[in-house]
Structure 1
Amino acid sequence: MTIRIQFVKIPTSETMSNYATKKLEKLAAKFPWVINAEVYFKVADTASGTVHSCEIELSAPGPRLFAGSTEKNYELAVKNTISDLQKQLKKRKATFTAH
């Protein structure tokens, strides 16, 4: 699986890149038919404070899969986004049929 990580209007972080890559590689081990992943890290200021956002788009057979999460830190955002994608991938895998 090819992984592209983009930091939108924030400085790049090697730590966050490594964390997201490690989590996505575990996901790729479970679902080897995933082709590539695009990860976007964003930050937003709200009335309640600063929130961190992670959005991941996966290319796989069929329509693209997308999930995003906004949390108080990037680690939680990545964890929740990966969890949502894992649910979608399990549903997608259930629809595969042998020909």
Structure 2
Amino acid sequence: MTIHIQYVQMPESESLSKIVTRNLQKMAHKYQFVIRADVFFKLGQGKDGKDKICEIKLSAPGPQLFAKSTEDNFEKAAAETISDLDRQLRKRKEKFARRKKAI
């Protein structure tokens, strides 16, 4: 899987990039049909302190997968986004398995 990380109007964080890359590589090992991940970190306009945004788009067979989380720090936002994508990938894998059985 190819991973592209972009920091939108904010400085890059090597440690955050490492964390996200490690977690996405684990996901790629688990779901080998994932082709590419585009990760975006942004600062939002949240008034409640939750202004750190993580968006991830995954390219895989079928429609593109997308998840977005807003938290009070980027690590939490990334973890929540990856968790959402894991749930989506699990559902897609089950759907593929059902289709194989039907054939």
Band of TM-score, shorter chain: over 0.9
TM-score, normalising length from structure 2? 0.91
Spell out the pairing of 1:82-93 with structure 2 (5 A cutoff). 82-93=82-93
Residue identity opposite 1:65 in structure 2: L
For 2:90 and 2:7, locate their aligned partners in 1 and report how far apart those are by CA, in whole Å. 28
1:95 CA drift (Å)? 1.1
1:44 CA drift (Å)? 1.7
> What's the C-alpha RMSD, in Å, of the aligned pairs?
1.2
Query: Which residue pairs with 1:75 in the alignment?
Result: 75
Q: Which runs of 5+ in 1 are unaligned?
A: none
SS of structure 1 residue aligned to 2:67: strand
TM-score, normalising length from structure 1? 0.94
Question: What is the aligned-residue identity percentage?
Answer: 52
In the alignment of these two chains, the number of paired residues is: 99
Rate the CA distance shift 1:65–1:25 in 2: closer, same or farther, 3 A: same
For 1:75 and 1:93, locate their aligned partners in 2 and report how far apart those are by CA, in whole Å. 26
Conservation of the 8 A alpha-carbon contact between 2:39 and 2:54: yes
Query: Which residue pairs with 2:45 in the alignment?
Result: 45
For 1:35 and 1:49, locate their aligned partners in 2 and report how far apart those are by CA, in whole Å. 34
- Residues 1:6 and 2:6 aligned together: yes
